Amino acid sequence: MWIFDCQVRGGHETATERSGALRPTDEKRGPILSQQSQIGNGHPPRAPYDLSPVILAGFVLTGTVTTLLGPILPVISSKWLLSDLGAGDLFLAQFLGSTFGTIISGFLIVRLGFDRLLAVGFGVMALGVAALGLTPWPTCIVAVTAFGVALGLTIPAINLFVSENNPQRPAAALSILNAAWSIGAVVSPPLVALLIVPGARIGRLLGLAAMLAIVAFFIPILKAHRAPASLEETPSGRDVMADSSRGRFDLRVWLRAQGFVFAALFFLYVGIENSVGGWVATYAHRLTGQPGARWELAPSLFWGTLILGRILVPTMLRYLSEARLVTAGLLVTTLGVTALLISNSLMSVFLSVSLAGLGLSSVFPTTIALLTQCFGRAASPAGAPMFGFAALGGACLPWLVGFLSSQFASIRVGLWVPLLAILAMLAVNGLLPTADERADKSSGE
């Protein structure tokens, strides 16, 4: 989620800045940051949020579907007698599908408009989730790919929809929107436990599919909360289209070694997040092996502490620089994943995965801030390829966990993948220039 959310917000802010809709007084600061400072000074006055309950409900469901594979994986593996390699193929299918959906979302917004694209996206998502519960292996890979593509279509479109409907307070509205996604991610494991009791058919996922279908039905009839019928009708939208047609590729970023350093950081981070969040339920399930054990709560604790930590990031930045906060977060994550690997009880799994989530919470948003500090206005054009590397990591590393788990007949061995990736992030992060080095470079220019 964080991949596509940040990609859309980054692109939208750049487009809005160029259009002059929210012209900042300090051009080195983004329009949203400038707007926040204006609000803090009393200019302009605060405006109410314009968020449809249907949109919020839909984004809660996207959070649930995005993280669905993690808690449902033990049930799927048991039903179809899957190896961990086969289960890893599902992660690969979802994230490659979502990457493809994101790539074509800008084109489809222009052609279909927000409402019709969102209706199609939630409809396809409903069909994919329903098919996951009804189709046999390996046909279910198609179902997972389908709802992966739907996630790639809907998440960017909803972010742009909300931005266009909240021109005075886009950052605040997007924060509420992403809180809705987070709620869906946290409730996904308990919801799976409610829908699928031991021995029940996965067909009970039809309940989740029905909720998605209801959202798909109501979105086209929204009248009071509509963005322009087409992205092309908005000034910022025309710039987004122009950026899409040009590919938004800035060679200046890739002529500096830091461009490849950030690409590696994005690749590794999302791979770590998806590996731990996606496989911890299976790990906890195999560790306990007891019916009625609450192993499905492990992903909820991971996502919950990750979200809690992100709420605390602004406070932590008062005492630590961005680079030090990333390093501290990675060290805490190293401790958490190491503790996870040596866990021998469900409670120790819960504690270690919570620690891992808390450590990861500051890494991604702070890395984005460092990207902006290193490249300035060139950071937004660099966003598309950077988040492309992130999506690739989200597809490859969870698959690698399943591959190694199958090869060594131990998911504990597979979970060495995120631990080694964390250590690699620590090494790569050390290659970034310090604040003093960036200041010297800026003064020299």
End-to-end Cα, the chain, rounded Å = 36
Q: How far apart are CA 12 and CA 421, in angstroms?
A: 31
Q: What residue type is assigned to position 133 of the chain? A: G
Please check whether residues 254 and 205 belong to one and the same domain.
Answer: no
**Position 53 in a domain:** yes
Tell me if 30 is assigned to some domain: no
**410 and 273 in one domain?**
yes
Where does the pLDDT of residue 293 fall: very low under 50, low under 70, confident under 90, or very high at 90 and above? low
Structure tokens at 18: 């160029």
Asked if residue 85 lies in contact with residue 314, where contact means CB atoms within 8 angstroms, the answer is no
Instruction: Name, of 132-141, 269-278, 430-439, the range with top average pLDDT.
Output: 269-278
More confident residue, 157 or 202: 157
Whether residue 232 is found in the same domain as residue 256 = no
Indicate if 219 and 183 belong to the same structural domain: yes
For residue range 294-326, what is the model confidence (pLDDT) as tens digits? 777 888 899 889 888 888 888 888 888 888 888
Are 238 and 254 in the same domain?
A: no
Q: Please state, in angstroms and as integers, the Cα–Cα distance from residue 164 to each residue in 16, 140, 169, 311, following that order.
A: 10, 36, 10, 25
14-48 pLDDT tens trace: 333 433 333 333 433 343 333 444 444 444 444 44
| Number of Cβ atoms within 10 Å of the Cβ of 331 | 13
Q: Is residue 39 part of a domain?
A: no
Let me know whether 220 and 191 are in one domain. Answer: yes
Same domain, 284 and 426: yes
pLDDT value at position 182? 80
Domain range holding 134? 1-20+49-248
**What's the average model confidence in pLDDT over 278-305?**
82
- Identity of residue 441: K
Residue 37 belongs to some domain of the structure: no
The CATH number linked to 201 is: 1.20.1250.20
Tell me the residue type at 62: T
The two tokens of residue 347 are 């409670």
| Cα–Cα separations (whole angstroms), residue 193 to 74, 293, 365, 406 | 11, 11, 31, 26
The structural domain count of the chain equals 2
Identify the DSSP state of 230.
S
- Summarised one tens digit per residue, pLDDT across range 95-134 is 889 888 888 887 888 888 888 899 999 999 999 998 887 7
323/349 same-domain check = yes
Lowest-pLDDT range of 180-189, 330-339, 372-381: 372-381
Helix 206-218 crosses helix 170-195 at what angle (to 10 degrees)?
Answer: 150
Query: What number of H helices and E strands is found in the chain?
Result: 20, 0
Residue-wise pLDDT for 248-259, tens only, equals 455 556 667 788
